[in-house]
């Protein structure tokens, strides 16, 4: 009976000891390894009382387990935050409680209210620090990117700060790489931004002129005439005065480049047709020179290639009037839509087209005049033949009709004097149009408008072959 009582007292003592220990850990007034004592009330050693103590112990053990999990979660969070921020984890965590060091067992770690409160505050402070550092780093990354783009920094140099720019759009929770927000990394980025700012001031003129060159190239491709020298002088004056921020100046130039590209796109369709028209005019000029060549049908080397080219050129030349009409219509529609003249290298395109149309009409009138003159000449020859007969002259034997070289009026074999003068006048007129455009805007070999106007080869051949006969001598 005495032994049973001693066992019961021992059970009560163990349960009460564990209860007091856990209570001390929760209250935070029990030091690590501290021994405590307890007194058992021997007046009530019933099983019911023992069950009450054991139930109380289970509740306290559950609370301790929950607190321990919270502590470990806080410690893990502090560890991750310290890693990202580049802080000393052990030095930081022991500021809360020495038992949170890894050298202390899990069951011996502090689970007091004070420890949990300090851990919670530390996590909040570290998360705020992480947020602040990330914002600072993202600002520096954006500045670096702008400066790199501004000065066309090589990719090799940019890659040295890829660990900074990689988080330029990351959220706080996405940044988990150790050292990603370390203070020394942020300081390096600040130093680089300051260095590039100083470099930007010295390279500003070079950067601005590079953008100006890009702008001039866009206008040149669009055949828009601008005063490049005046624009460059204005840029120099703005930079030297210091009254404008470099970033604002470059932003304005970027805006001008964008507008120039948009204007070039609006002119693209018309410019493509202008190129076709000028190419056709080149073929027209070549065809006229080819038609003047008396040896063009000889079996010389490359003659068959020239014949094929002449056939294609005639087809192309016949399409010029329709192409010109289409160009005039589209150009007028463009001008009405924008309320401004369509300039081609400083010359109104409609003026070029109108002059071409006028010169072509003059050429057609010249052709009709030549045909009328030829018809009158043939009629006179026929009347002379009917009047005097077609007997051969005794001064020369009978033979085939001879093709005369020069005409009786002294004209060249490939046209009348008036036609030759008209063509020369056309050339002078169109050369005047070409002189209106700026040098360097167009290939010097390409006319701004057609130089010559070409008749169909058969008509040219007919105009060059005037067949006459001398009158017979009087008997």
**Predicted confidence (pLDDT) per residue in 223-268, tens digit:** 999 888 999 899 888 888 878 877 788 889 999 999 999 999 999 9
Question: Does 163 or 152 have the greater pLDDT score?
Answer: 163
Place of tokens 């480049």: 257
Q: Is the distance from CB of 93 to CB of 75 less than 8 angstroms?
A: yes
pLDDT at 85: 94
The model's pLDDT over 29-66, given as tens digits with 9 standing for 90+, comes to: 655 455 555 665 566 666 777 778 788 888 888 888 88
Phi, psi of 155 (to 5 degrees): -65, -30
CA separation, residue 442 to residues 54, 421, 452 (Å):
103, 28, 19
The CB density around residue 244, as the number of other CB atoms within 10 Å, is 14
Q: How many residues does the chain have?
A: 475
CA separation, residue 352 to residues 7, 181, 216, 432, 455 (Å):
123, 66, 24, 11, 21
Q: Is the distance from CB of 319 to CB of 338 less than 8 angstroms?
A: no
Distance, in Å, from the CA atom of 208 to the CA atom of 187, rounded to the nearest integer, reads 30
The DSSP-derived string for 282-318 is HHHHHHHHHHH-TTTTS--TTHHHHHHHHHHHHHHHH
Distance, in Å, from the CA atom of 135 to the CA atom of 181, rounded to the nearest integer, reads 10
Q: 159 pLDDT band (50/70/90 cuts)?
A: very high
DSSP 166: T
pLDDT at 425: 37
Distance, in Å, from the CA atom of 222 to the CA atom of 442, rounded to the nearest integer, reads 11
Q: Is the distance from CB of 437 to CB of 347 less than 8 angstroms?
A: yes
Question: Does 23 or 190 have the greater pLDDT score?
Answer: 190
- Residue 13's closest CA among 44, 49, 37? 37
Architecture per CATH, 269-464: Up-down Bundle (1.20)
Rounded mean pLDDT of the chain? 77
Distance, in Å, from the CA atom of 134 to the CA atom of 126, rounded to the nearest integer, reads 12
Q: 471 pLDDT band (50/70/90 cuts)?
A: very low
Task: Give start-end residues of each CATH 1.20.58.1520 domain in the chain.
Answer: 269-464
Instruction: Output the six-digit token pair for 119.
Output: 């851990």
């Amino acid at each position: 009976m005495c032994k049973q009582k001693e066992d019961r007292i021992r059970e009560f003592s163990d349960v009460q000891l564990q209860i007091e220990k856990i209570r001390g850990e929760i209250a935070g007034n029990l030091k690590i390894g501290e021994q405590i004592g307890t007194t058992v009330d021997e007046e009530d050693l019933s099983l019911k009382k023992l069950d009450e103590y054991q139930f109380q112990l289970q509740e306290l053990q559950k609370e301790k387990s929950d607190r321990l999990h919270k502590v470990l979660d806080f410690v893990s969070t502090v560890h991750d935050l310290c890693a990202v921020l580049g802080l000393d984890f052990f030095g930081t965590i022991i500021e809360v409680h020495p038992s949170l060091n890894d050298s202390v067992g899990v069951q011996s770690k502090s689970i007091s209210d004070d420890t949990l409160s300090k851990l919670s505050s530390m996590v909040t402070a570290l998360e705020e620090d992480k947020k602040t550092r990330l914002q600072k780093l993202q600002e520096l990354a954006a500045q670096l990117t702008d400066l790199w783009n501004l000065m066309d920094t090589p990719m090799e140099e940019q890659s040295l700060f890829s660990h900074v720019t990689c988080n330029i759009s990351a959220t706080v929770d996405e940044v988990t790489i150790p050292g990603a927000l370390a203070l020394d990394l942020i300081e390096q980025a600040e130093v680089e931004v300051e260095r590039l700012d100083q470099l930007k001031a010295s390279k500003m003129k070079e950067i601005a002129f590079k953008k100006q060159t890009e702008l001039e190239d866009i206008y040149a491709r669009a055949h828009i005439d601008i005063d490049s020298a005046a624009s460059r002088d204005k840029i120099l004056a703005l930079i030297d005065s210091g009254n404008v921020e470099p970033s604002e100046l470059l932003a304005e130039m970027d805006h001008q480049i964008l507008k120039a590209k948009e204007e070039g796109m609006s002119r693209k369709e018309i410019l493509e047709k202008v190129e076709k028209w000028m190419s056709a005019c080149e073929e027209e000029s070549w065809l006229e020179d080819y038609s003047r060549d008396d040896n063009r049908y000889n079996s010389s080397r490359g003659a068959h290639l020239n014949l094929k080219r002449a056939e294609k050129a005639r087809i192309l030349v016949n399409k010029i009037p329709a192409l010109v009409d289409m160009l005039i219509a589209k150009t007028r529609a463009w001008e009405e839509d924008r309320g401004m003249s369509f300039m081609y290298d400083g010359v109104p395109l409609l003026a070029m087209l109108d002059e071409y149309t006028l010169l072509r009409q003059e050429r057609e009138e010249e052709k009709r005049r030549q045909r009328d003159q030829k018809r009158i000449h043939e009629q006179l020859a026929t009347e002379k033949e009917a009047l005097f007969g077609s007997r051969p002259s005794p001064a020369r034997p009978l033979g085939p009709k001879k093709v005369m070289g020069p005409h009786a009026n002294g004209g060249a074999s490939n046209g009348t004097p008036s036609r030759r003068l008209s063509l020369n006048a056309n050339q002078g007129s169109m050369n005047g149009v070409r002189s209106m455009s700026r040098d360097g805007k167009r290939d010097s070999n390409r006319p701004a408008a057609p130089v010559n106007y070409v008749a169909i080869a058969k008509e040219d051949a007919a105009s060059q072959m005037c067949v006459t006969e001398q009158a017979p001598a009087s008997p």
